[in-house]
Every structure is written in C-alpha cells, then in structure tokens.
Amino acid sequence: MCGRYASSRSPEDLAEEFEVVDTRLDQVIPPDYNVAPTKEVYAVLERDDERQLRALRWGLVPFWAKDPSIGSRMINARMETVAEKPAFRRAFGGRRCLLPADGYFEWYETQNEIKGGKTPKFAKQPFFITPKDGSVMAMAGLYEIWKDPTRPDDDPEQFRWTCTVLTTEATDEAGRIHDRMPLLLTRDRRGAWLDPTTPKDQLLDLLVPAQQGGLQAFPVSTAVGNVRNNGPELVEPIPFEETLL
C-alpha cells in the first residue's frame, strides 16, 4: 500500500512538469515531507478540455457515500480490481488524476524484537523510496466529487474533492520492503490516463506497470511515523545495520 509520501515541489514547478494550463488552487499547500491520509494534496487532472492543478483531500469519498469519513479507508485502490470495485468504478471510468510525489514511505519489519510484550513484536524501520535521478513521481490516482446533503446550494463547502492512489505489485527495488507500491505512470502515458474520453479497455493497458524501476530505497528516521513531524530531515538517509538492497 501507499500510506505516506512526500511532496515538496511548488505549484509552479508542478505546472511546468505536468504541462498544466489551469492552476485552480483555493490554497497553496506548503512543502509536505509527511503526507498522510485526509491531508490536502496536489493533483493533476483534466476537466473542460484543460489540464488543471488542484488541491484534493487524500482518501476518496465515493459519490454515493452517506458518511464522508469512509474516505480515510479509501486511500489506495488496487490496480487489479479498480475497474470493478463499486467505490472506484465510476471514477476509473472518467475521473483520473496524477498525484505528484518526491517519493513514498514503507515500513520494513526488522529482526529487532521489542521487549516486554506477551507476544513477539519486531521493530519496524521506515524506508523512503524515490527516483534515483531526483525526478517527480507521477502516481496514478482517481478523484471524486462528493456532495454534502447537509449544506445549502450556495455553500462553497458543499462539494468535497477527494482522491486515491492506485497500487500495484512492487518491483525488486521496493518489493523487499513491501509487496505493494504506487503505480507510476511514465511521461508517455500521462496524457491518455488523464483524458476522460480514453476507452476503458485502453486504460487497462496503461496500467501495465512498465518501467517501475529506476528507484532507490534507503532507511530514514522513525520520526516519520508521527504525522505531526514534518521537514526535509524526514527524507534524509540514516545508517541501517541490516542489508536489504
């Protein structure tokens, strides 16, 4: 899964990288080195024949949901089943997006046992997985617009924009840490993924996780486990005794 990631690029840099025409930002999101579910994140999408950059809440709320809190459990959608799952089916058909990231975090269970418990537990070491060349990750995502039935039509908060990250089987570089990873879209596939008119049968071809390589993984501070911690120090490598990669 993908439950934490880092996103520090400015809106200007993202607009250039993803060829955004319309920057519709109600807010500028500061650099975030510890993006967690329910936070606001940048998303690239296409609406009204324009490529847009928007701020969406991470955790997709299906249009039919009665309670928006369901979004906290909808942060990921599995590539293998996204076309059929009721929560994601409509969004997959025409509301697709890209979620820019510097990299993402996964936790590896070490051999260091935590003492004191009735059952054996082992310490988990966070790793940051990021492109070796320092480029921006383009994580495949979906977005939805949920209408709050309790708010009047003139309330600007009546519609909630939310998103989810698609995941796939991890490559060798990341698979030794966790068996799932975000689905990354190469530059040549971005346009077709964002285009709402792309037929569904072609979308499945786009989701073949080609060229998921070019990544590096290194251990980082356990401070990233606390969502209140934030800053570039969270993505700095630290020494690690076990050899993984």
Residue carrying structure tokens 């082992």: 122
Task: Identify residue 161 by its one-letter amino acid code.
Answer: W
Quote the CA–CA distance of 181 and 169 in Å, as a whole number.
6
- Residue 182 corresponds to which tokens in the numbers above? 């975000």
Task: Identify residue 5 by its one-letter amino acid code.
Answer: Y
Quote the CA–CA distance of 150 and 136 in Å, as a whole number.
39
Quote the CA–CA distance of 141 and 132 in Å, as a whole number.
22
Quote the CA–CA distance of 14 and 21 in Å, as a whole number.
11
CB contact at 8 A, 74 and 60: yes
DSSP-assigned beta bridge partners for residue 127: 106, 219
CB contact at 8 A, 41 and 15: no
DSSP 8-state assignment for residue 234? G
> Which active-site residues does the annotation give?
2, 106
- Residue 122 corresponds to which tokens in the numbers above? 């082992």
Q: Give the CA-trace dihedral at 76, 5, 8, 95, to 10 degrees.
A: -10
Burial class (CB in 10 A: 0-12, 13-18, 19+), 140: buried
Quote the CA–CA distance of 174 and 191 in Å, as a whole number.
26
